Structure 1
Amino acid sequence: MNLSNIGLLDLPYDILLIILKKLNNIDVLYSLLDVDNQRLDIIVQENTFTNTLNFVLTTSTDDISPFTDSILDRFCINILPRIHHNIKSLILDSISMERILLAADYPNLTELKLFNFNGKIVSHYFTVESPFRRIFQRQITDLILVFENDFNEISVKHYTTDVYGYILKFFENLKHLSIGSFPHFFPPLVLRNLPLITFSSSILYKLCIRVGNFLDFLALLDGRLQQLTTLIVAIGDMAYHSSNVYNMDNLPNLKCFSLKCYCLSYEYDAQILPLFCHMSNLEELTLHITIESRTAFIDGTHIYNEILVHMPRLRTFYFCISTDTHMDRLIRHLSRDDIQGTFTNIISEQVDCIVNYRYRSAMCHVFSLPFMFDSLKYIGNKFPTIIFNNVKILAVHDGVPFKHEFFIRIAWSFPLLKQLSVINLKPQSPILDQLTSNDNQLYSIVEYPYLTLLRLEAVHIDYVEQFLNYTKTHLPRLTKLGVNYDQLTIVTENFTRDTTRLNCVKVKQLNINKTLVHSKDFYVYFPFL
C-alpha cells in the first residue's frame, strides 16, 4: 500500500472510532451521515458511538449556537429517525421542542433541558392530552428548565401550585428537577402557609430552585421531600416573621447542599448558622453568602468553628463569603495576608481573599479556588491575578480612581463577563480634555466581547467616556445601558459623536432616570430602543 494515499476511511475500525469520539457529536452527525459511505454510516449510528450522546438542538439560546431552519430540517427528517433509539439526553428550545420531539420516538430519553421555558409550556405539553405524555410522564427522570428572558412577574404567585407543584405530580419518575435562568430572574417557590402536599415527592433526590424567603426555605425541608440528597437553593429574602414551627430535627439523607443568599449580620447568626447543626451527613457544601453590617470579617477561623465543625463527613467545600460593613463598625482593620493566615483547617486546597477599604465602608470576600460562582460584587482596584472563568456578573466600587489599565485587568480576569456595574466618583485624570479627545490613542483598547449590560449611574463622567468611546473600549454586544443622562449628552456631543456611536448602536434598553422628549439625533443614535 502506498502510505501517501492512506485516507481517513482506510484506518482500522478502532482507530477511526477513537477519532470520531474526539469530535463534537453534532459535527460528526451533520458531517458524516449520508456521505455515501456504508462503513461511516454504520459507525456513526452504532450504539458504541451514540449511546452517550447529549443531543443539543436549539434555535435561540445565548450559550449554544442556533440551528438554521435548513439544518433543523435535515436533523428532523434524515438524522433523528436513524439515531433516536440511542438518545438519552436532549437540550431543546421551547420554540423547536414540538418539532424535534415529533420527529422520532425516543425510547431511552431520560433527561430533558428546556430553554425559554414558561407557564404556557406546562398547560400545553405537560398534560395527559399531550403527544409527548409517555416521554414526560413515564420516561423523564431529569428535568432542567431555563426560564425565558421576558418572564412576567405578575404571575409569580401561581407558579408554586400551577407549575412547580404540578410538575412534581405529572412527571411520575422525576428524580432531578432544576429551575433557573440568567441572571436568576424567574418566579420563586413560595411554600409558606401551604400544605405539605403542594410541592412534594417521595422519589425526588436532587432539586435546584429559588425560594421567596427564608420561611419558604424552612417549609421546603419540612418532610415534603424525604429522599432529597442534593439541594441547591437561592433565598430571595431572609425576612422571617412567623409563628409556624418547621421540623428541622435532622436531614439524614442530605449529602450535597448549596446556598446562595444576602443577609444582615443578625440574620446570618440567628438563621443561617443554626442550619449547619442539622447537616452532619453532608459530603459537599457550597456557600455563596453576602453579609451586611457585621463588626468583623468572616475568616477561616469562623468558618471552621461555626460551620465545618458540624460536618465530619464533608469532603468538598466551595465558598465565597462576602462581608460588607461600615468602617466605624469594624473591630480590626485586617490585611489580605492577615485573613489568609486564618485558613489553616479548611478543606479547600486553595483559598484567596479580596479586601477593599473605602472611605466609609469596607468589603471582604473570602473564597475557594477555583472560583465557582457566577457573580462577584464590589471589588476595588486591588484584586488577585486570577482568571474568574465562571463570573458573568461583576460590580466594581472604589474611592480611588479606576485607571484604564484597571479595566484591561478586568477584561483579562473576567473573560466571560456579561453584566458590569461601576461605582466611582473620582476622575480618571485631572485633565478631562485629554480623556475626551477623539484621537486619543494612549492606551490599548479594552475588549468586552460578551458584555450585554453596563451600569454607569453613579460614576464620574470620565467612566462614561471610558466605556462609550470606541477607541478605548469595544462593547460589540451591549444591549442594556444605565447612565446619567446629562453625562451621556456631553460624552456623545448631543448624540452626534461618531467615536461613541458604535458602542451605543445596539442598545435596546436605556435607563436614564428621566422622562424627556428626545431629539431626532437621539433616536438615530439608539435605533433599537
Structure 2
Amino acid sequence: MNCSQMRLLDLPDEILLLILKKLNNIDILYSMFGFGYQRLDNLLQENTFTNTLNFVITTSDGDVYSFPYYIITRFCKYILPKIDQNIQYLILDSLSMENILQAGNYPSLTQLKIFNFNDKVFDDYFTVQSSFGHIFQKQITDLILIFEKDFNQILSKQYTIDMYDYILKFFKNLKHLSINGSSPHDFPPLTFRNLPFNVFFSSILFKLSIHVMTYEDCLALLDGRLEQLNTFIVLINPCISYSSNLYHMGSLPNLQCFSLKYYSEYNEYDHYVRFLFPRMFNLKELTLHMTIYKRNNLIDGNDINNDILIHMPQLNQFNFHISTTMLRNNLIDHLSEDNAQQTLSKLRFKQLQCIIHCRCHLITCQIFSLPFIFDNLTCIGNKFPNIKFNNVKNLSIEDEIPFNHEFFIRLAWSFPLLKKLRILNLEPQLPSSSSSNEIYSLIKYSHLSSLNILDVHVDYIEQFLNDTKTCLPCLNELTVDYNQLQIATENFTKDRTRFNCKNVEKLNIKQKNIELEDFYAYFPLL
C-alpha cells in the first residue's frame, strides 16, 4: 500500500475516533460535518461530538469571546438543525444565544451555561411567553449563569432576591444551580433581608454554587428550605450586615460536599462559622478558603482537628487555606513554623504546610493543604516554602526585611502562572548574594499583567522595570508612585527601563496634568 496517498477517511473508525477526540467539538463539526461524507457524518452523530457544544472561548483571565459570526451562521443554518436531537449541553454567550436556540428544537437538552448573563437575558428568555420557555421550564436540570462584569451596580438587593427566587421556581426540574462571575464584584450577592422560609425554596435542588451577602444568608440556605442539597459552594461577601432572623440550626444529613470562601474581619469564625461543622457529619468533601482577622489565637492543626475533623468521620477529601492574623505580643514571639507544622502533622490528612509571617505589630499564620488549589495568596514575606504554587494568580508580598534579587528568582519559580503582584517593602533592596559586580540573571514573569509597586523603596521599581533584571512581556497595568517612577526611569529617558513599560495600557498614579513628551513616549499605549 502506498502510504503517501492515504487519506483521513481511509483510517478505520477506531483510529479516526481517537484523532477526532483530541479536537474541539465545534471545530470538528464546522470543518467536517455536512460536506457529503456520509460515513463521517454518521460517526460524528453517533458519538459524543454532538452531546456538548461550547460556543464561547474563555481566556485564563476570565474574558469571554463568542465564535466568529460566520461560524455561528453556518452552525445555525446547516449543522444544528441536523443534530439538535442529540444535544444535551449548550454553553452560550448572551449575544449569540438567540440565533443558536432558534436553530433547533433540542428535545434532549438538559444542561445550559450562559456567559455574560444580564437582566435583559433574564427578562427576555426566562418567561412562559418566551419561545424557549418550554425548554427551560421542563427540560433544564443544570443551569450555570456567569454574570457580566459590574452587573451588581444596576441591581437593587430586592431585585436580586426576586431574580434568584424566580429562577428556582421557573426551572421546575432544576437540580443544579450555579450563579457566578469572574470575581465576587462582578455579580450581585444573594441576601434574604428577613424574608420568609418559602423564599428561595426547592425540594429537588441537589447542587448550589452561589455568592451571598452575609454569614446569616449562608445559614438561611441551610435551614431546611433546600432539603435535598448535597453540594453547597458558597462565597460570603466581606461585609458585616446582620438581620434579625434566627435560622433553624438542625443537622444536614444529605450534605456531602461543602466549599466555603470567607473573609472575616470581626472573627465570626469563633462565634458562628465553627458551629456549622458539627452539623455536617456525613460530609465527604470539604474546601475552606478563609481569612480571619482580630482573633485572640492563631488557628493551627489542633483547631482543625477539634473544630472540624472530629465531627466528620467520613471526610476523605479536604482542601483548605486558613489565614489568621492577630496582634503580636510577647506571649507569641516564640511561635515558629516548626510548632505550627507539628500540630498539622497529627492530622489524618498529610501534605500540609504553614507560613508564619511577622510584620510591625501583626503576626499571620497560614496553614494549607497541598497541592495549593486556590488562586490568591497574601501576607507572605522573605520566608515561604520551597514548593510550586501552580494555581496562584494573585499574590501580595510584604516585609520589613529587604528583598534581594534571588528572592524574586525564587518567587518566579514558585508562582509560574502569576498574573497580579503587589509588593510592600520600604527598605532598600539588598545586593545580590551571588555576584559582586552586579551582573544579574534575568527573571521572567511570563504571565504577569498587573504590578502594584506603589508602597516600595525605589530600588524595587528599578528591579522590575530594568530589562536586564526582569522581563515582563505581558505587563499592561502598573500602579506606582510618580516621583519614584521619575527617579527609576531618569525622568523617562533611561533605555533600560523602557522595554517593560511599552505595553502598559493602564497606569495608576496620583500625578495630574503630565505634559512631558518623554513620558508619553515611554508609555505609548496609555
TM-score (norm 2): 0.89
Query: Residues 243 and 104 (structure 1 numbering): CA distance in 2 closer, same or farther, change over 3 Å?
Result: closer
In 2, distance between residues paired with 1:187 and 1:393? 22
Larger deviation: 354-363 or 247-256? 354-363
Larger deviation: 338-347 or 199-208? 338-347
Other structure's SS at 1:281 match: coil
Larger deviation: 416-425 or 62-71? 62-71
2:464 is aligned to 467
CA contact (8 A) 2:110 2:139 kept: yes
2:425 is aligned to 424
The 5-angstrom pairing of residues 116-265 of structure 1 reads 116-185=116-185, 186-237=187-238, 239=240, 241-264=242-265
* Cα deviation code 1:473-523 (max 9, x no counterpart): 3444434332222223333444455554554455444432x3622226355
Q: Are 1:517 and 2:517 counterparts?
A: no
CA contact (8 A) 2:340 2:354 kept: yes
Larger deviation: 415-424 or 324-333? 324-333
One-letter code aligned to 1:131: S
1:453 is aligned to 450
2:55 is aligned to 57
1:365 is aligned to 366
The 5-angstrom pairing of residues 305-316 of structure 1 reads 305-316=306-317
* Cα deviation code 1:159-178 (max 9, x no counterpart): 42332122112222211111
Other structure's SS at 1:341 match: helix
1:11 is aligned to 11
Displacement of 1:9: 2.7
Other structure's SS at 2:155 match: helix
One-letter code aligned to 1:446: K
2:486 is aligned to 489
In 1, distance between residues paired with 2:303 and 2:364? 17
Query: Residues 231 and 67 (structure 1 numbering): CA distance in 2 closer, same or farther, change over 3 Å?
Result: same
CA contact (8 A) 2:467 2:496 kept: yes
2:294 is aligned to 293
Query: Residues 137 and 399 (structure 1 numbering): CA distance in 2 closer, same or farther, change over 3 Å?
Result: same
CA contact (8 A) 2:194 2:243 kept: no
Between the aligned residues of both structures, percent identity stands at: 55
The 5-angstrom pairing of residues 296-335 of structure 1 reads 296-328=297-329, 331=332, 333-335=334-336
CA contact (8 A) 1:159 1:187 kept: no
In 2, distance between residues paired with 1:264 and 1:202? 35
Query: Residues 205 and 398 (structure 1 numbering): CA distance in 2 closer, same or farther, change over 3 Å?
Result: same
CA contact (8 A) 1:160 1:191 kept: no
Larger deviation: 205-214 or 403-412? 403-412
Query: Residues 205 and 266 (structure 1 numbering): CA distance in 2 closer, same or farther, change over 3 Å?
Result: same
Displacement of 1:101: 2.1
CA contact (8 A) 1:318 1:348 kept: no
Displacement of 1:373: 1.3
One-letter code aligned to 2:260: L
One-letter code aligned to 2:461: V
Query: Residues 489 and 302 (structure 1 numbering): CA distance in 2 closer, same or farther, change over 3 Å?
Result: same
Q: Are 1:275 and 2:276 counterparts?
A: yes
1:28 is aligned to 28
Query: Residues 130 and 60 (structure 1 numbering): CA distance in 2 closer, same or farther, change over 3 Å?
Result: farther
One-letter code aligned to 2:338: D
CA contact (8 A) 1:159 1:189 kept: no
Displacement of 1:229: 1.3
Larger deviation: 359-368 or 237-246? 237-246
* Cα deviation code 1:193-240 (max 9, x no counterpart): 122233222221111111111222222222322221111111114636
In 2, distance between residues paired with 1:473 and 1:363? 29
1:351 is aligned to 352
Query: Residues 85 and 503 (structure 1 numbering): CA distance in 2 closer, same or farther, change over 3 Å?
Result: farther
In 2, distance between residues paired with 1:302 and 1:519? 58
* Cα deviation code 1:320-379 (max 9, x no counterpart): 111222321653533333322222453434212222233432222111112121211111
CA contact (8 A) 2:280 2:312 kept: yes
CA contact (8 A) 1:261 1:289 kept: yes
In 1, distance between residues paired with 2:176 and 2:358? 43
CA contact (8 A) 1:296 1:332 kept: no
Other structure's SS at 1:232 match: strand
Displacement of 1:30: 3.5
2:475 is aligned to 478
CA contact (8 A) 2:255 2:282 kept: yes
Query: Residues 81 and 402 (structure 1 numbering): CA distance in 2 closer, same or farther, change over 3 Å?
Result: farther
One-letter code aligned to 2:478: L
Displacement of 1:526: 4.7
Query: Residues 299 and 131 (structure 1 numbering): CA distance in 2 closer, same or farther, change over 3 Å?
Result: same
In 2, distance between residues paired with 1:179 and 1:43? 36
In 2, distance between residues paired with 1:352 and 1:410? 17
CA contact (8 A) 1:192 1:215 kept: no
CA contact (8 A) 1:407 1:446 kept: no
In 2, distance between residues paired with 1:82 and 1:271? 55
In 1, distance between residues paired with 2:101 and 2:439? 54
CA contact (8 A) 1:59 1:68 kept: no
In 2, distance between residues paired with 1:241 and 1:488? 45
Structure 2: gaps (5+ residues): none
In 1, distance between residues paired with 2:166 and 2:501? 44
1:437 is aligned to none
1:105 is aligned to 105
2:81 is aligned to 81
Would you say how many aligned residue pairs link Structure 1 and Structure 2? 520
CA contact (8 A) 2:259 2:287 kept: yes
CA contact (8 A) 2:194 2:244 kept: no
CA contact (8 A) 1:318 1:372 kept: yes
Query: Residues 489 and 101 (structure 1 numbering): CA distance in 2 closer, same or farther, change over 3 Å?
Result: farther
Other structure's SS at 1:216 match: helix
Larger deviation: 225-234 or 478-487? 478-487
Query: Residues 242 and 149 (structure 1 numbering): CA distance in 2 closer, same or farther, change over 3 Å?
Result: closer
Other structure's SS at 1:353 match: strand
Other structure's SS at 1:385 match: coil
Other structure's SS at 1:268 match: helix
One-letter code aligned to 1:84: D
